[in-house]
């Protein structure tokens, strides 16, 4: 369990984590060496699939579909963000 946690922590912090599963596959035998490891799927497709399944089930979307008028505080925050973004360029 601690080994799995260390791998997860290394991935979360951005360090390159060793992949023991791939190395153990190669060591097992000749019959399994011909199989190719599964390619990781992009996360964008997973997120869109989750959204589709949520809407298909009839769940209420997190965002309101009708546009609402922003409050004064939201407007000032948006203006400040625009100023900061302009300066960073």
Q: Provide CB contacts within 8 A for 78, sequence distance 6+.
A: 70
81: enclosing H helix or E strand: helix 72-88
Q: In this structure, is residue 89 part of a structural domain?
A: no
| d(C-alpha 25, C-alpha 37), whole Å | 9
Predicted TM-score (pTM) of the model is 0.21
In which residue are the tokens 């990781």 written? 40
Q: In this structure, is residue 67 part of a structural domain?
A: no
For residue 14 the two structure tokens come to 């951005």
Q: In this structure, is residue 19 part of a structural domain?
A: yes
pLDDT for the residue 51: 53
Compute mean pLDDT per 10 residues along the chain, 89 residues long, and list them. 75 59 51 54 48 53 59 77 75
Q: In this structure, is residue 53 part of a structural domain?
A: no
When divided into structural domains, the chain yields a total of 1
Q: In this structure, is residue 32 part of a structural domain?
A: yes
């Amino acid at each position: 369990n601690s080994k799995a946690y260390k791998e997860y922590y290394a991935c979360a912090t951005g360090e390159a984590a060793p992949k023991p599963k791939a190395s153990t596959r190669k060591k097992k035998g000749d019959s399994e060496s011909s199989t190719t490891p599964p390619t990781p799927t992009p996360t964008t497709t997973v997120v869109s699939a989750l959204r589709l399944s949520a809407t298909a089930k009839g769940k209420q979307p997190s965002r309101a579909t009708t546009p609402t008028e922003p409050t004064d505080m939201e407007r000032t925050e948006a203006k400040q963000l625009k100023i900061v973004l302009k300066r960073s360029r």
